[in-house]
Structure 1
């Protein structure tokens, strides 16, 4: 049995974590009692921790136990200012690390965060660095990228946070992109409502599969090998059939843009892969599975495959893909650079122009007359 730690940092990380716990505590039933009971639908031992400087974000969580919601006191958040967030983490570092140490030892950890906000984007690189210095288990970050129209502060935060996470010693970064998922799902609100469950569904499938008995085996060692490939970046694809469907179609859908959390052409940009297929034996044609895996491995190199037999279930497929290049990420950084220059230019105009100060100067030496 694997020992797994899942940490949600900041509002976005908290909401994804709460979605994971929602499924673990019954898949969406009333969450009123969830924080008091610890029975979970995991094969593994899974410990969850939600960290936030904004107490209201923690209060919004419905399915995460109260003891696992860790408030880091600093007014009501850090206001999307990563410099303040870094300072708060340094001041409260031992308090945070104590919460992790009290939960025992682990085989693997996942840290969930947005790259664009304040607490999550600033805490995560420093937290990962501390964890890698103190513990010998791998730490993977699942990082959500912002809508491009969310604003200049969020865009520049995303650029610097992602760079800092990559330099922190993280064993891999799994990307999810709000912009791309919005384009698939329609409105921004629909994307916000759906992304947490999408990420949670993929993480839970992965954790379940790594602790399952398989016809063809993938395990934690294989996952580590996949995640060590490429440029330290990865994404996850998923497809669940709602009716009888050839397994090769399910695999193709899990590798297609509509199945991925981050926009990429897997046959062009992926470096290594893991594909896990689950379903009733009658749907699991070994010939069809081998054909699709060989096609993928011919393009990207090594592909680990696992097959989990579940009686009565239509095919489900999870793909984990590390990337050696990411053109969509380059586009994000181009927009982020523009955002940084825009903010800098505004600041300079205020400092140099001082139009407001000129207006105030007109009443220098005068007093109000009543």
Structure 2
């Protein structure tokens, strides 16, 4: 008996989340397990630095299908993904569409599958920021509205789903596949070449990432944030991998603080080496707050809300907000050694992929 599962990936955050599932599914397949996969890359992130290197570093096999959607507006990408994935399902139907995270590909494929009566499993289901100005929040809500089986990272996510009326029997608290990937690769992390060139020392620099529209789409607003970061870090180097969206606005700025070191988006192993050895991380990302929590690195999030409250309540993350004036006091506490230690949330233990595959086998192969 062989059961086909579509595994959807379209953007950089997805790749880290699917790797443990693919590895666990292959291990079970080698042992006679019933599940086989079809890896569908939507092409939502088309820059090889944002996808190709991740596949190689994380041992992800070449996609079975690439929808090659490419760039475009939210609506254009959504439409392209839905048309391409519908065509694929009509050629060969799968028994399940497994989507991860909260990118456009996640939402588009979930809706397409459900309209063709293919069950949807959502990994990282139930997380909520409550902020409808974020495209990711709309993707989460739409995806979970058509999901059959919910794989969750935290009790917060479980509670969100229960409040939305999801039956307990469809909620599976499995942990965090992002952390599976991090723990599996911790010994393989390696410094990018510029670390030696610039003489960066462990604990002697910061890492910053910015890509949220509210932070980076306005040249004036981005300039204020960058100056607050540069000044608040007290002259220490700030390694700043520049997201393509941020790069567009940076070109409009007359300049930025001298201690900001602008670099290209980094591959997985190099980026997490930088995070692991940083004095702190300043970000508006959600996923990075999970990685800093597990690595015990102070994290300052330039947002007013988070869909990952466990990183604040249990971990090393703190919501600083989007007002640049609030950054200096937070950094002062870090420099004064007053940052919280944090601890690792439940089931963030490196075995989430195995739990997901075991559950899927039960749901799909055994009824």
The answer to whether TM tops 0.5 is no
Which structure has the bigger radius of gyration? 1
**Larger RCO, structure (CA 8 Å, separation 6 or more):** 2
Q: Which structure: greater strand fraction?
A: 1
**TM-score bin (small chain):** 0.3 to 0.5
TM-score, normalised relative to structure 1: 0.39
